[in-house]
Amino acid sequence: MPEKTNYKQEMRNFVQDISAYAKAINPHFAIIPQNGAQIVSTTGDDTGTPDENYIKAIDGIGQEDLFYGYTADDQATSPSDNEWLRTFLDMAKNNGTVKIMVTDYCSTHLKMDDSYAQNNSLGYISFAADHRELDNIPSYPSPVYNENSDTISTLQDAKNFLYLIAPDNEYSTKQGFVDAVKATNYDFIIMDFFYKGEGFTASQIEELKQKANGGRRLLICYMSIGEAENYRYYWQPDWEVGNPSYIYKEDPNWPGNFYVRYWDPKWKEIIYGNENSYLKKILDAGFDGVYLDIIDAFEQFEN
């Protein structure tokens, strides 16, 4: 009888291999998985001990909906869900140099204030996103929460961030997006590699690393590793569920996004490990780190 796949461990292995590949090229390159934080525990639940190999491989954890947005945008996350998530965030934070960065989805100013204050009190940095689509720079608060003119050289230095991965509708040109981000003082930006299918130039990347107040910041590139996206450069016209075999099923909440059998070597080849891989493109472009999404894809296979 074939051995049952440990889907959580397969995701740990994937992230650890991505980290080893990236850090061999740039030792300062930041690895930040988003969600699926329970894999910091050896058992994947609150009975486990910290998984030291996994925690050593990452520099941060991104967590959505910790205080707002878990069941609905602009609605408080229940105390029980909040406490469950914090179990794993704190396990990582207290057993390594892992920066916790929270994205709460709320638009009421009082709730945005509360999100920033509660995250700050726990030693987390946070972003209150007033659009779930992450397609805008919020006008509130102004100035940016914990704004500073420091030069940010590592993730640990950061006091705030902007998560802006879908700017195509808000900004009519790629340079317009660059100019809008340049006018802010966020300590790091989570952004996409592409604008309407076109990558950013080396000079635009350099511009984006400059805060308006003279400080320097980090640029972190978004990359989904638990789903394939049919608008990415790697997608082929004949691809569909089951072809290639690692394309598992479409995400009902995000049309055009497809859960993948992420442990498949062919999928891994697309993501990292060679000159044509997605991660190598990100490294070559001059980004300071990568934000790995759909870490919690293991839930699709466990269920």
The DSSP line for 60-86 is: EEEEESSSB-SSSTTSBPPHHHHHHHH
Stretches where the chain sits below pLDDT 70 are 1-2
**Number of neighbouring beta carbons within 10 Å of residue 32:** 24
Please state which of the four CATH numbers 3.20.20, 2.60.40, 3.40.50, 1.10.3470 is assigned to the domain occupying 7-226+262-302: 3.20.20
pLDDT at 271: 98
**Number of neighbouring beta carbons within 10 Å of residue 219:** 20
pLDDT at 303: 80
pLDDT at 2: 57
Identify the H or E element spanning 22.
helix 7-25
Q: For residues 130 and 134, give the distance between their C-alpha atoms in angstroms, rounded to a whole number.
A: 8
Name the nearest CA neighbour of 155 among 218, 103, 104: 218
Residue pair 223/290 in contact (Cβ under 8 Å)? The answer is yes
Q: Is 126 helix (H, G, I), strand (E, B) or coil?
A: strand
| Rounded (10°) angle between helices 7-25 and 278-285 | 40
pLDDT at 3: 72
pLDDT at 70: 98
Query: Using one digit for the tens of pLDDT, what is the confidence trace for 264-296?
Result: 999 999 999 999 999 999 999 999 999 999 999
The DSSP line for 127-180 is: EEES-TT--S----SSSPTT-------SGGG-S--EEE---TTT-SSHHHHHHH
pLDDT at 236: 98
Ramachandran region, residue 169 (left: φ > 0; alpha: ψ -120 to 50; beta: rest): alpha
Q: Which residues neighbour 165 within 8 Å (Cβ) at sequence distance 6 or greater?
A: 134, 190, 191, 192, 222
pLDDT at 130: 98
Query: Using one digit for the tens of pLDDT, what is the confidence trace for 104-122?
Result: 999 999 999 999 999 999 9
Which amino acid is it at 295? I
Ramachandran region, residue 134 (left: φ > 0; alpha: ψ -120 to 50; beta: rest): left
